[in-house]
Amino acid sequence: MVSDELTVFYSHQGYPDRLRRIRFKDPEIAKTLVFLTNNFALPALTIGALYNSRWQVELFFRWIKQHLRIKRFFGTSENAVKSQVWIAVAVYVLVAIIRKRLNLEFSLHSMLQILSVTPFEKVSLFQMLTDMAPVEESSVNPNQLILV
C-alpha cells in the first residue's frame, strides 16, 4: 500500500485543500483500488480498512432495499428506524424458516406477497401457501390464446 499527495493543478481547482491518494491492493478481488482522502494522520492501511468497512455497510443497505419490504420509515429517530429495520429482518427470517420447514419451492418474495394479502385468513399456513402458490409458466406458445 502506497500513499502520496496530489499536486495536479486541476485537482487543486476542484478541491483547494491538500488531498492524499491511497492505493490499496485488495487480495479478495485481486484489484488495486485508489482512494482520495483529506486525512493525513491515519496510516494508509487504516484508510483501506475503513473503505472496506464502508463497502460492507453499502452492501448491507443494498440487501435491505432488495429483500426487505420497507416502503418508508414511520419515524425519524434512530430508535424508530432501527426498530423498523429489525422488524423487517425478523419477518424475512421467519418467512425463510417457514419456507424451509414446509419445503416450498417458490421465492420468499412470492411468499411475502401471499402473506401480505391474507393476514387474517383462518387457514393453515401450509394450505394457504400451497393453494395460492404462483403457477409456473408452461411451455405453451405465448402467441396462442388459452381457453379456460
The β-bridge relationship of strands 20-26 and 2-5 is antiparallel
The stretch 16-30 carries a mean pLDDT of 81
Q: What is the pTM of this model?
A: 0.51
Q: pLDDT tens, 56-98?
A: 888 888 888 887 778 788 888 999 989 988 998 898 889 889 8
Judge whether residue 1 has pLDDT over 70.
Answer: no
Q: How far apart are CA 61 and CA 85, in angstroms?
A: 10
The β-bridge relationship of strands 31-37 and 2-5 is unpaired
Judge whether residue 9 has pLDDT over 80.
Answer: no
pLDDT, averaged across the chain: 79
Residue 1 near residue 24, CB atoms below 8 Å: yes
Q: pLDDT tens, 90-112?
A: 988 898 898 888 888 878 888 88
Query: How many residues does this entry show for the chain?
Result: 148
List b or e across 42-52, with b for residues whose CB sees 16 or more CB atoms inside 10 angstroms.
eebeebbeebe
